[in-house]
């Protein structure tokens, strides 16, 4: 039996079965990983920064492809148009209008402070260039259902409709920009407000899960075929051994009489018959 199991042909079959099983297992695991990754949110394309004036317009809502875009804005901050946005994680947002020099302004979230008395709230002087991500105007409905008394100069949301009433005399572009950097840098740095790149929800690709199951079934089939061929090889060996034993034929019983021919062609008697004839 061991001679059959370790013969060259059967050893090659062992190696082929192991290779097929490992390959199918790895391919199935790869397809399962693709299936798991498909359910995670995916980052969308993040184009190069563009001027905020090329995307936003006063009185016009942002479209989906504009939200989260990297933009740049160049102008001067208006110290008379600055607010603190309350209810934010880590403190207060510092919201300042940036005059673009074309008769319009865009709200800029310059950063975050812990308290309203933080010296970092001081408005920088001179012309600056701000880089950041464009965000849509926030909804005020949920805030109206939960009224809160705020100190002077603070708001709960960054809403274009609310800012138009608070910052009169300027045309505000819709949405706002969360600053990532500013040039030149302010004398006292604010804590940055991080905004993640835009993502789109993932969708499970059940096809990849089916592919994974298919590869594993192929691996089990390879094991079955290996067992089938090895079993046939062992059966063939057993049948061959039985057939070689039958070829010897039946043995003559003890005491049987055997007749031979002598050189003259007369049957010669041997054995018991010869002894009986010789007796007186």
Q: 103-119, pLDDT tens digit by residue?
A: 999 999 999 999 999 99
61-88: burial string, b at 16+ Cβ within 10 Å, e else: ebeeebebbbbbbebbbeeebbbbbbee
- As a whole number of angstroms, the distance between CA 195 and CA 181 comes to 12
Domain boundaries, given as residue ranges, for the chain:
2-38+204-245, 50-200
- As a whole number of angstroms, the distance between CA 67 and CA 104 comes to 20
CA distances from 90 to 68, 113, 146, 191, 193 (A): 22, 8, 21, 9, 10
pTM: 0.57
* pLDDT 10s digits, 168-220: 888 999 999 999 999 999 888 899 998 877 665 556 677 888 888 998 898 89
* CA nearest to 128, candidates 176, 171, 165, 74: 74
**52 φ, ψ to 5°?**
-60, -30
């Amino acid at each position: 039996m061991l001679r059959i199991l370790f013969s060259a042909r059967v050893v090659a079959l062992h190696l082929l079965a192991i290779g097929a099983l490992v390959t199918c297992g790895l391919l199935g695991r790869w397809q399962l990983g693709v299936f798991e990754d498909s359910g995670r949110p995916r980052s969308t394309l993040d184009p190069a920064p563009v001027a905020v004036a090329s995307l936003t317009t006063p009185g016009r809502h942002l479209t989906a492809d504009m939200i989260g875009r990297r933009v740049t804005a160049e102008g001067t901050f208006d110290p008379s148009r600055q607010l603190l946005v309350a209810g934010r994680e880590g403190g207060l947002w510092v919201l300042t209008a940036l005059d673009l020099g074309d008769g319009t302004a865009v709200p800029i979230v310059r950063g975050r402070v812990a308290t309203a008395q933080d010296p970092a709230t001081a408005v920088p002087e001179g012309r600056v260039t701000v880089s950041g991500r464009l965000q849509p105007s926030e909804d005020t409905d949920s805030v109206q259902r939960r009224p809160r008394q705020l100190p002077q100069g603070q708001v709960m949301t960054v809403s274009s409709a609310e800012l138009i009433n608070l910052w009169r005399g300027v045309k505000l572009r819709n949405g706002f920009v969360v600053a990532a950097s500013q040039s030149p840098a302010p004398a006292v740095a604010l804590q940055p407000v991080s905004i993640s790149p835009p993502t789109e929800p993932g969708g499970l690709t059940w096809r990849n899960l089916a592919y994974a199951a298919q590869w594993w079934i192929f691996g089990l089939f390879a094991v079955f075929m290996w067992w089938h061929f090895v079993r046939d090889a062992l059966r063939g060996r057993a049948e061959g051994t039985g057939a070689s034993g039958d070829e010897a034929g039946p043995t003559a019983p003890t005491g049987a009489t055997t007749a031979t021919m002598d050189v003259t062609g007369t049957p010669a008697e041997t054995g018991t018959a010869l002894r009986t004839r010789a007796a007186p």
